[in-house]
Amino acid sequence: MTALPRTWHGPADGDVVVLANSLGTTQRMWDGLLAELGPDVRVLTYDLPGHTGDTTEPFTFDDLVVGSIEVLDSEDVRAATLVGVSLGGALGVEIAARRPDLVRRLVLVNTPIRQASRGFWLDRADAVERDGLAGLAAGLPERWFPQGGPAADAVVAQFAALEPAGYAAACRALADLDVTAAASAVAVPTLVVSARDDSSVAPASSDELATLIPGAVLESVPEGGHLLPVTRPDLLARLLALSPAHPRDR
């Protein structure tokens, strides 16, 4: 697998935050959150295979985990706050379980534990290769962004511009996602964030994840949809400041 594209934001001496993307998105999905985090935070974003026109060859979910770890190692990241949404959250669970030296704390947003149907993702991959991404893009506002808005429109446009073959390869990799065992092995402070109106990842997945990860804190958000970092970057920035490494008042 080729080196994954990555970008550093913020001062070289800031506390490091790593942001891991959802399926079907690029680094640009974090633009709103980057603006909310302020000038003193050092942030690393990166793109996943199949999302930048770099590869259409088959890869697995494990390849995504290994590739993410290689990004962090190559950038000398240690003891970072890792924030992942959906697929990115599942990657964060695996990274923290396999390489606890890389992660100081986890923030997992609308994160799946396992796939209910492997066939669903394989069928989606076949359909995208046959029909392209236009049909899926048309349905994204309803599934990802219940409240809509310009930031949501930009992410939908970025999705529509993906290479269909690359996205299909990512769907096939996602079909094998199962972080059940890894979740129980996580030993860093973890905040699980669940938008209760998420129609892509059932809130029950976040509820279960919070019980599997020792000591995890569950934060339920009534509204925000699947890509909460896009729709409510202000809220997520506040939750980051109050994550388990910084106990909140109850």
HEC string for the chain: CCCCCEEEECCCCCEEEEEECCCCCCHHHHHHHHHHHCCCEEEEEECCCCCCCCCCCCCCHHHHHHHHHHHHHHCCCCCEEEEEECHHHHHHHHHHHHCCCCEEEEEEECCCCECCCHHHHHHHHHHHHHHCCHHHHHHHHHHHCCCCCHHHHHHHHHHHCCCHHHHHHHHHHHCCCECHHHHHHCCCCEEEEEECCCCCCCHHHHHHHHHHCCCCEEEEECCCCCCHHHHCHHHHHHHHHCCCCCCCCC
Question: Model confidence at 95, in pLDDT bands (50, 70, 90)?
Answer: very high
> Does residue 86 contact residue 150 with C-beta atoms inside 8 Å?
no
Query: Residue 249: what pLDDT?
Result: 35
| Region 171-181 average pLDDT | 97
Query: Residue 149: what pLDDT?
Result: 85
> Looking at the predicted structure, is the pLDDT value of residue 250 above 60?
no
> Looking at the predicted structure, is the pLDDT value of residue 246 above 70?
no
| Region 127-150 average pLDDT | 90
Question: Model confidence at 243, in pLDDT bands (50, 70, 90)?
Answer: low
Comparing 120-129, 149-158, 202-211, 236-245, which segment has the lowest mean pLDDT?
Answer: 236-245
Instruction: Give the angle 72-73-76 at the CA atoms, nearest 5°.
Output: 85
> Looking at the predicted structure, is the pLDDT value of residue 107 above 60?
yes
> Looking at the predicted structure, is the pLDDT value of residue 247 above 50?
no
Domains annotated on the chain, with CATH: 6-241 (3.40.50.1820)
Query: Residue 8: what pLDDT?
Result: 97
Query: Residue 248: what pLDDT?
Result: 40
On average, the pLDDT of the chain sits at 92
Question: Model confidence at 180, in pLDDT bands (50, 70, 90)?
Answer: very high
Query: Residue 2: what pLDDT?
Result: 74
* Whole-angstrom distance, CA of residue 193 vs CA of residue 210: 9
Comparing 12-21, 145-154, 237-246, which segment has the lowest mean pLDDT?
Answer: 237-246
Query: Residue 206: what pLDDT?
Result: 97
Query: Residue 56: what pLDDT?
Result: 64
| Region 144-161 average pLDDT | 90
Q: pLDDT digits over 33-84, tens only?
A: 999 998 889 999 999 999 987 666 899 999 999 999 999 999 999 999 999 9
Report pTM: 0.94
Query: Roughly how many angstroms between the first and final C-alpha of the chain, as a whole number?
Result: 45
Query: Residue 54: what pLDDT?
Result: 63
Query: Residue 55: what pLDDT?
Result: 61
